[in-house]
Structure 1
Amino acid sequence: MRSEIITASRCDSDQEFPALVLAAGASSRFGRPKALLTLRAQNGQSCTLLDRAIAQGRLLSRDVRVVCGAWYPLIRFRCRAQPSRWVPVADWHEGMAASLAAGVRSLGPRVKGVFVLVADQPLLDTEALGAFGEAARCFPGQPAAADYGRHPGVPAYLPRGLWSEVLALEGDRGAGRLLAKAGATRLNIPGVHDDIDTPEDWERIRQAVSRKGLRARQSQG
């Protein structure tokens, strides 16, 4: 009975704490849509980076919204995991600030804060990510973010009190400076530095995922 109560409570609060996956960029440095790059999961099945990002979002909330732009609707039809909502961004070419603004504007009046992830961090530690989500829900008015050493960054939690400043952001910079200025709580989430900007990054991360999957299969055997 206790676990059923906790599960019901978490499900209700998901409407107050949705998650945004930012996937609107053109992947110009990479040369093709990064969101559709394919990884082999531990169960042997293939998934796209966006599938994986949606799964990461669901560790934080059942309400996961994908902010899309440059490669939409292609990514929608190639993605196996479907989010709660697709949020197209007409001005995606203006940078990450436009994506954040579109995502925030898609949220309803009951929302207390929103989690923000990107689609090219497939090695995020799932336990640390889940703990990050629970910590943010315990202090809904306090911004929180992954600790990058010198600055905070995604994954991040933006309380409603910061949204007016988020909507005022411009260009290709995210909310990192805003989070630092607001004194965001920083948490260690292994894997945040393993993002994908170049084909070399992709090859390195693809091999890391393959090694991780091999170790998991060996331990199960």
Structure 2
Amino acid sequence: MSHFIRNETITASRHNHDQEFPALVLAAGASSRFGRPKAMMALSEGNGQSRTLLDHAIAQGRLLSRDVHVVCGAWYPLVRFRCQAQPSRWVHVADWHKGMAASLSAGIRSLGPYAKGAFVLLADQPLLDHHALAAFGETARCFPDQALAADYGSRPGVPAYLPRWLWPDILALEGDRGAGQLLVGANATRLAIPGVHDDIDTPDDWRRIREEFTRTGLQARQSQG
């Protein structure tokens, strides 16, 4: 399974509808458990090339939509300068320290009037299966009023799709609360996305996931050779 993402996965027929289905990449945290800004850590793509973790997250977002907004807080604007990829919009959250609710609120408020819903991703899940992620995006487009979420077994989680009717409840969240309980209350459809459990919180997580990322990418290149 390769985790190297090619943006052309999005077909031309979807381009005109990107503003109806934008994607938010949440990358506003201080990475306190990690000890340094993990969004700027480099993932090797082979052949001497590398991209930052945030570059890769933006590419994941583009599997869902070409309209990708990156929500930043701590370490901004440094993370922006270090990023090779450029999203549709950078959204700076001045009160990022208040927690996840502030990031979600800022991201939702950055979206236009034509959005039917929004995809939400984190910047620290580089092993998400990109075929499953693309299928997740297509499902949301077919059922735009239905909340969708990755299946974590006992709960729904990110990546998630938040239909517009759910946004007022999201904007009312406070503190370090994400949309998990709202997704439960909305009876969100859960879809399997391999890699959701592989998020990066600590240096040990980073070493393990970086090795897996490199190994799976090497296997993919060898199978294509």
Q: Deviations over 1:23-69 (max 9, x none)?
A: 00000010000100100125641000000000000000000000000
Alignment of 1:111 onto 2:133 = no
Unaligned stretches of 5+ residues in structure 1: 1-5
Alignment of 1:35 onto 2:39 = yes
Give the counterpart of 2:82 among 78, 98, 101.
78
Per the alignment, in what secondary structure is the counterpart of residue 15 of structure 1? Answer: helix
Give the counterpart of 1:188 among 192, 201, 213.
192
> 1: distance between equivalents of 2:127 and 2:166?
28
In the TM superposition, 1:51-66 aligns within 5 A as 51-66=55-70
Q: Deviations over 1:91-116 (max 9, x none)?
A: 00000110000000011111100000
> 2: distance between equivalents of 1:35 and 1:173?
21
Mean CA deviation greater in 38-47 or 165-174: 38-47
Report the equivalent of 1:3: none
Q: What code does the residue aligned with 1:60 have? A: L
> 2: distance between equivalents of 1:153 and 1:107?
21
Report the equivalent of 2:5: none
RMSD: 1.2
Q: What is the CA-CA distance between 1:8 and the residue it aligns to?
A: 4.6
* Matched-pair contact (CA < 8 Å) for 1:147–1:186: yes
Q: What code does the residue aligned with 1:209 have? A: F
Q: What is the CA-CA distance between 1:220 and the residue it aligns to?
A: 2.8
Structure 2-normalised TM-score? 0.93
* Matched-pair contact (CA < 8 Å) for 1:42–1:217: no
Give the counterpart of 2:52 among 48, 53, 69.
48
Structure 1-normalised TM-score? 0.95
Unaligned stretches of 5+ residues in structure 2: 1-9
Q: What is the CA-CA distance between 1:172 and the residue it aligns to?
A: 1.2
| Runs of 4 or more consecutive aligned structure 1 residues displaced over 4 Å after TM superposition | none
Give the counterpart of 1:174 among 175, 178, 201.
178
Q: Deviations over 1:92-149 (max 9, x none)?
A: 0000110000000011111100000000000000000000000011000000000000
Per the alignment, in what secondary structure is the counterpart of residue 41 of structure 1? Answer: strand
Q: What is the CA-CA distance between 1:216 and the residue it aligns to?
A: 1.9
In the TM superposition, 1:157-172 aligns within 5 A as 157-172=161-176
Q: What is the CA-CA distance between 1:170 and the residue it aligns to?
A: 1.1
Per the alignment, in what secondary structure is the counterpart of residue 66 of structure 1? Answer: strand
> 1: distance between equivalents of 2:224 and 2:131?
19
Give the counterpart of 2:155 among 151, 155, 159.
151
Q: What is the CA-CA distance between 1:214 and the residue it aligns to?
A: 2.0
Alignment of 1:19 onto 2:23 = yes
> 1: distance between equivalents of 2:210 and 2:105?
31
Q: What is the CA-CA distance between 1:217 and the residue it aligns to?
A: 2.7
Per the alignment, in what secondary structure is the counterpart of residue 214 of structure 1? Answer: helix
